[in-house]
Amino acid sequence: MAWERLAHAEITGSAGILTSGTFTAKKNLKVILYVTGLSVVNNTAIVFNTDNSSTNYGIRGSVDGGSDYSHGSQTAIVISPTAQDTSYSTFNITNIDGQEKIVIHDSTNTGGSGSGNAPSRREGAGKWATTSGQITKITVTDNNGGTGSITCGVGSYITVLGAKEPATADVITVDCGTTATAGTTSSGGTLNITSGGSTVLSTIDVGTTSDTKWVLRYKANFGTWSANSYFHVCLSDNDNPITSSQDELGVLYRNDSSSNNFGVHTVAGANPNSVNSQDQQTWSTSTSTDYYFEIVRESSTSAKVNFYGTDSTYTTVSSTSSYTSVSANCDGLDRIKIMENSASNTSGAVTISDIEFYNGITAVTSGKKHLMIQAKGIASSADISFKLRFNNDSGSNYTFRSSANGGADGTDTSETYINAGTGFSGTANIFGTFYVINEAAKEKLVISECTAGQSGAGTAPERKELVGKWANTSNAITRVDVHNSGSGDFGEGSEVTVYGTD
């Protein structure tokens, strides 16, 4: 099923009423709702179209794993777990003309700031009993209904997605480039200068790339980098060493007797060894320290190199080398290459790793606002588990609330992970879906469902519902790690897929 965005509305400037506005009706809807800075202490709710005063809604659900409530003849569908300032909710809605509109929703809130406060959760179902027409507008209200009874704070927003139907061309357009996967050679995504000599080089083939925009990121460790040695990291159009003609765009590193420096380096149909770098920047290096660089082709004739120091999140630029006279004939670059032009380097002097290549863009965004993560774990021999970490953060910055097999909720605070899939019995494969609100300056809220199944139909699958949060308020999520603490291992076929949208 392909989804298209039907509506997106956000509160900006000053607090106000949050409504999607009118959107095109679709038979299947998916809604993402983020509400913050509420003006009232009542629970958040939603109403459809202009039906905000009648009692046409029915609801059933559970808060924090408690007993089900059920209420008929309601004026709205209540969604937030408790009366908290900030909440995050997802909905799946059937929206068929002539039928009652059925809603499945999950919601969480912060439970208070910091990893010491576990989030709350509500899982529920609802319906809008109207059978005539379809939902074409959604408005946020409180549990008393009405469209003017709740004021949402700046930053609150609602996004409505609709499943494409046969009458609509099934075409999806995205505004970011393709990520080429490094590690297609025996280097495994790592490039090394392993011995001295001007012919020493290592390459990774990334296929066809743009001649106007791409980004190459990597970690550089200079190890026993010798004095008066130079080397290049670049995109090139062939596997030739530095003494041969080629097209090349990248960075030249120089370990001079007086200082270390780097600068944009480029040639078109020439010997790179005969051309100096541009806009050289001086910096200090320490032996065996990891440094982070980013090469950006901004157009056919301009490029830059950003140095981030030891910042592995690529957040703060320490210095930049820029050049605006790149030859437009420097094109057809299809491989990442490291090569040296000095014979004085010693074995293992330079290692380039953690390579990320983005084709067709000039800036790597700091993470999409909405993430959907799907993880599949194949148990190789014994029990496995799912423990999520974001941006490689292993600090005590996570908290979560969960229920297994319909049991009572449990909470865990100040943890080093979100424990999404532990506690399943026996050797069982695990599948989980995670929805994440990913605002850089806000705590990251997570709603997840996991299931695990042992071999054969004789054993019923197990399930786990969880809400959690990563208390970081400085960075958007740009990396997801699923760790296994079980006695078994992730087997062949295990995978993690991350989807994102703004």
Q: Would 133 be classed as within a structural domain? A: yes
Q: What is the mean pLDDT of residues 311-331?
A: 91
Residues 327 and 427 in one domain: no
pTM: 0.55
Q: What is the mean pLDDT of residues 435-456?
A: 86
Residue 116, pLDDT > 90, answer: yes
Residue 292, pLDDT > 80, answer: yes
Q: Would 173 be classed as within a structural domain? A: no
Residues 225 and 127 in one domain: no
- Condensed to tens digits (0 to 9), the pLDDT of residues 166-222 reads 543 333 322 333 333 333 333 335 666 655 555 567 788 888 889 999 999 998 887
Q: What is the mean pLDDT of residues 51-55?
A: 84
- Amino acid (1-letter code) at residue 300: S
Q: Which domain CATH number covers 80?
A: 2.60.120
Per-residue confidence (pLDDT) for residue 440, from 0 to 100:
82
- Amino acid (1-letter code) at residue 359: N
Q: Do residues 216 and 294 lie in contact, with contact meaning Cβ atoms separated by under 8 Å?
A: yes
Per-residue confidence (pLDDT) for residue 41, from 0 to 100:
64
Residue 263, pLDDT > 90, answer: yes
> How many structural domains does the chain have?
3
What is the spatial distance between Cα 372 and Cα 433, in angstroms, rounded to a whole number?
Answer: 7
Tokens of 332: 């057809």
Residue 43, pLDDT > 50, answer: yes
Q: Which domain CATH number covers 203?
A: 2.60.120.200
Per-residue confidence (pLDDT) for residue 256, from 0 to 100:
73
Q: What is the rounded end-to-end Cα distance, in angstroms, of the chain?
A: 19
Per-residue confidence (pLDDT) for residue 475, from 0 to 100:
83
The residue among 340, 359, 378 that closes a domain is 359
Residues 494 and 350 in one domain: no
Residues 345 and 399 in one domain: no
* Residue with more model confidence, 458 or 190: 458
The residue among 301, 325, 359 that closes a domain is 359
DSSP string, 289-315: -EEEEEEEE-SSS-EEEEE-TT-TT--
Which residues are registered as beta bridge partners of 127?
Answer: 58, 102
Over the chain, what is the mean pLDDT? 83
Confidence band (pLDDT; 50, 70, 90) for 301?
A: very high
- Amino acid (1-letter code) at residue 341: N
Q: Would 364 be classed as within a structural domain? A: no
Q: Would 170 be classed as within a structural domain? A: no
Nearest to 403 by CA among 447, 349, 438, 369: 447
Residue 88, pLDDT > 90, answer: yes
The residue among 359, 394, 429 that closes a domain is 359
Per-residue confidence (pLDDT) for residue 199, from 0 to 100:
56
Residues 145 and 201 in one domain: no
Per-residue confidence (pLDDT) for residue 84, from 0 to 100:
63
Residues 318 and 183 in one domain: yes
Residues 248 and 393 in one domain: no
What is the spatial distance between Cα 498 and Cα 372, in angstroms, rounded to a whole number?
Answer: 6
For residue 329, give its domain range.
Answer: 178-359
Residue 431, pLDDT > 90, answer: no
- Condensed to tens digits (0 to 9), the pLDDT of residues 4-28 reads 889 999 998 888 899 999 999 999 8
Residue 50, pLDDT > 70, answer: yes
Q: Do residues 309 and 320 lie in contact, with contact meaning Cβ atoms separated by under 8 Å?
A: no
Per-residue confidence (pLDDT) for residue 173, from 0 to 100:
29
Q: Would 66 be classed as within a structural domain? A: yes
Tokens of 498: 């991350």
Q: Would 169 be classed as within a structural domain? A: no
What is the spatial distance between Cα 70 and Cα 145, in angstroms, rounded to a whole number?
Answer: 17
Residues 221 and 352 in one domain: yes
Starting at the earlier edge strand, list the strands of the sheet with 387-390.
418-419, 387-390, 480-483
What is the spatial distance between Cα 189 and Cα 203, in angstroms, rounded to a whole number?
Answer: 9
Q: Would 36 be classed as within a structural domain? A: yes
Residues 187 and 155 in one domain: no
Q: Where are the beta strands (DSSP E) in 256-348?
A: 260-270, 278-283, 290-297, 303-307, 319-323, 335-340
Tokens of 26: 């679709």
Residues 210 and 136 in one domain: no
Lowest mean pLDDT among 142-156, 342-356, 421-435: 342-356
Q: What is the mean pLDDT of residues 419-429?
A: 72
Which residues are registered as beta bridge partners of 246?
Answer: 270
* Residue with more model confidence, 341 or 481: 481
Residues 345 and 404 in one domain: no
Q: Would 172 be classed as within a structural domain? A: no
Residues 126 and 156 in one domain: yes
Phi-psi region of 240 (alpha: psi -120 to 50; beta: other; left: phi over 0): beta
Q: Please, which residues have CB within 8 angstroms of residue 460's CB and are 6 or more apart in sequence? A: none
